Structure 1
Amino acid sequence: MKFKFAHNNLNVLDLDKSLAFYKQALQLEETRRKEMPDFTLVFLGDGHTPHKLELTWLKDRKEPYNLGDNEIHLAFTVDDFEKAHELHKAMGCICYENQAMGIYFIVDPDGYWLEIIPESR
């Protein structure tokens, strides 16, 4: 028996805002969408790996999600760390930097943290 990662899921409050953020901040593109009466699932891919990020939009949800201590995050490597840092700084989405480790985190519109790691690390 073999298991493989398929996708990670994040619930989002404003699907259009989240899609715009993930496209601008991480160059993720929509690869698949499933429309249902009460919710929409949108799968995003990086064009390099088979792994997907699934955004779930519950259409009647009006309150922000309670992320608790938000100790869970997704990590992305980038080939041009300095350029990525400049982009994210201009977007105003950097929420934490650990210069000793050579990484930083950005935050999406719903408060999820995303770790940015230099590819050469």
Structure 2
Amino acid sequence: MLRFAHFNFNVLDLDRSLKFYAEALELAPVRTKEAGDGSFKLVYLGDGETGFELELTWLKDRAEPYDLGECEFHLAFVTDRYDELHKRHEAMGCICFENTAMGIYFIEDPDGYWIEIIPSRG
């Protein structure tokens, strides 16, 4: 067997990121792991529907934002609530790119990671 387990984003402010993912995408922690010495914390977020998880990694000694290079990667979500989420993301001010011809858009999290929102196509 070979299957996806999780994808990782390193975050600078864990509380800010947890709030963003709860508000923007309704993701909730499903498990956490902390180093005994407090040097890092991992929080795995789930969507409540699939087994896929987004791992947020917080490093205690990290002070500067992460260099995401040219940001030529992203996480994608498919939704049957596209219009509802678009309005929410618009109100949050987190839409960073929209391709109306393709019917998709991207939001940006507090650390600069892009997340694609795709409507389910019936």
Provide TM-score, normalisation by structure 2.
0.96
Equivalence for 1:70? 71
Q: How does 1:49-64 map to 2 (within 5 A)?
A: 49-64=50-65
- Give secondary structure in 2 for the equivalent of 1:89: helix
Q: How does 1:3-18 map to 2 (within 5 A)?
A: 3-18=2-17
Find runs of 4+ consecutive structure 1 residues off by over 6 angstroms. Answer: none
| Sequence identity percentage | 62
Equivalence for 1:87? 88
Shift of 1:40: 0.1
Equivalence for 1:99? 100
Root-mean-square deviation (CA, aligned residues, Å) is: 0.8
CA distance in 2, matches of 1:15, 1:115: 21
Equivalence for 2:118? 117
Shift of 1:105: 0.1
Gaps of 5+ in 1: none
Gaps of 5+ in 2: none
Equivalence for 2:44? 43
CA distance in 2, matches of 1:113, 1:33: 23
Aligned residues: 120
CA distance in 1, matches of 2:3, 2:53: 12
Provide TM-score, normalisation by structure 1.
0.97
CA distance in 1, matches of 2:93, 2:7: 24
Shift of 1:82: 0.8
- Give secondary structure in 2 for the equivalent of 1:116: strand
User: Does structure 1 residue 19 correspond to structure 2 residue 12?
Assistant: no
